[in-house]
């Protein structure tokens, strides 16, 4: 890894190139083994150069956002992990268009839109993700989805930055061509509508209240663990199977919302994976519905 580190530090400051970096510091689950090398790019150019460096050395490369929908296995991640985060988190408002870099948080994006009296992003104000990850997975909540407001996205395709319209990305439920084709989101533009600032802020406040009441926001998790099965709700199926509070090691089905698996203290990735497997088996046996994990899993045992 030394040669990869040296190549990255040739164009990036040392504090943004980290060796043997614990992924527990970079995921909302607060668990996971170390990345051989973790890099925080400050621009689209640096992102492309880092990928090129890894490929030139035949090292695997994984690009992530803020780690809010990610489970890293206990053995860590080999090769290079690129985290698009705070150094690439700029937001600009021009008329009814909001443009954000991929590392911007959805909460910050929604607040900036509200400050400009623009409506359409209130639903995203409490989603614990970044713009890049939200576009890739077509994040949504409370009846809203990214595809409802996204106009176009700057992606890295075969090493070249390319603007693609929302239609060209074929956003669907928790999926898009970003994931299907291995694209990397660099920036995104959102088309919003003029609105009343106080009304928008009131809506955001109400959604925040509902989240606090129904979701385990004070415990480490990766958000909703399972995708919504057609015609059902994952949390309701899990609760109906009597699994609220069920634990494997330090991983637990939330007692507040059964659709969340939380790190109740000292959980390992293996605990989480075993719990996911146990929940899936029980729900399938009880209801005939097979739950599909929403959280992405990477790394080695």
Structural domain including 264 reads 216-298
**Domain end position, chosen among 69, 86, 103:** 86
294 is catalytic: yes
Does residue 104 share a domain with residue 71? no
pLDDT in tens, 123-180: 999 898 999 999 999 999 989 999 999 999 999 998 899 999 999 999 998 899 999 9
Does residue 97 share a domain with residue 57? no
Q: Would the pLDDT of 255 be above 90?
A: yes
296 is catalytic: no
Residue 205 is assigned to a structural domain of this protein: no
Residue-level pLDDT at 271: 98
Does residue 116 share a domain with residue 71? no
- When pLDDT is averaged across residues 65-81 and rounded to a whole number, the result is 96
Report the percent of the chain where pLDDT is more than 70: 100
Does residue 175 share a domain with residue 267? no
Residue-level pLDDT at 139: 92
Q: The domain spanning residue 132 has which CATH number? A: 3.30.465.10
- Reported as a pLDDT band with limits 50, 70 and 90, residue 1 is confident
Report the percent of the chain where pLDDT is more than 90: 97
Residue-level pLDDT at 30: 98
224 is catalytic: yes
Residue 207 is assigned to a structural domain of this protein: no
Q: Would the pLDDT of 296 be above 90?
A: yes
The DSSP line for the chain is -HHHHHHHHTTS-GGGEEEEEEGGGSSTT----EEEEEE--SSHHHHHHHHHHHHHTT--EEEESSSTTEEE-TT-EEEEEEE--GGG--EEEETTEEEEETTSBHHHHHHHHHHTTEES-GGGTT---BHHHHHHHT-EETTEEGGGTEEEEEEEETTEEEEEEHHHHT-BTTB-HHHHTT-EEEEEEEE-EE--HHHHHHHHHHHHHHHHHHS-TTS-EEEE-BPPPTTS-HHHHHHHTT-TT-EETTEEE-SS-TTEEEE-SS--HHHHHHHHHHHHHHHHHHHS----B-SEEES--
Catalytic choice (24, 89, 174, 254): 174
Does residue 249 share a domain with residue 192? no
Residue 125 is assigned to a structural domain of this protein: yes
Q: The domain spanning residue 225 has which CATH number? A: 3.90.78.10
Does residue 193 share a domain with residue 113? yes
Does residue 178 share a domain with residue 78? no
Q: The domain spanning residue 17 has which CATH number? A: 3.30.43.10
Q: Would the pLDDT of 119 be above 90?
A: yes
Residue 204 is assigned to a structural domain of this protein: no
Give the pTM. Answer: 0.92
- When pLDDT is averaged across residues 274-298 and rounded to a whole number, the result is 97
Catalytic choice (130, 224, 241, 254): 224
């Amino acid at each position: 890894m030394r040669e990869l580190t040296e190549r990255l530090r040739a164009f990036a400051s040392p504090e943004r190139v980290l060796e043997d970096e614990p992924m527990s510091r970079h995921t909302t689950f607060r668990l996971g083994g170390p990345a051989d090398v973790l890099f925080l790019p400050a621009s689209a150019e640096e992102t492309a150069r880092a990928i090129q460096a890894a490929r030139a050395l035949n090292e695997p490369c994984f690009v992530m956002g803020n780690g809010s929908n990610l489970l890293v296995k206990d053995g860590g991640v080999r090769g290079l992990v690129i985290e698009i985060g705070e150094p690439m988190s700029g937001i600009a408002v021009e008329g009814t268009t909001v443009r954000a870099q991929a590392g911007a948080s959805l909460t910050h994006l929604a607040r900036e839109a509200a400050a400009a009296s623009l409506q359409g992003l209130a639903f995203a104000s409490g989603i614990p993700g970044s713009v890049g990850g939200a576009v890739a997975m077509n994040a949504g909540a409370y009846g809203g989805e990214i595809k409802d407001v996204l106009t176009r996205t700057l992606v890295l395709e075969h090493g070249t930055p390319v603007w693609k319209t929302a239609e060209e990305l074929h956003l669907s439920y928790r999926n898009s061509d970003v994931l299907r084709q291995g694209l990397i989101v660099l920036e995104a533009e959102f088309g919003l509508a003029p609105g009343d600032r106080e009304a928008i802020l009131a809506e955001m406040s109400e959604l925040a209240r509902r989240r606090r009441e129904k979701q385990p926001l004070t415990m480490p998790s990766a958000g909703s663990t399972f995708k919504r099965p057609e015609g059902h709700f994952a949390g309701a199926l899990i609760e109906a199977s009597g699994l609220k509070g069920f634990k494997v090691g330090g991983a637990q089905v939330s007692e507040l919302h059964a659709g969340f698996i939380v790190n109740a203290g000292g959980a390992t990735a293996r605990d989480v994976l075993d719990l996911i497997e146990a929940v899936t088996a029980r729900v399938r046996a009880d209801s005939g519905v097979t739950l599909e994990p929403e959280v992405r899993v990477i790394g080695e045992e």
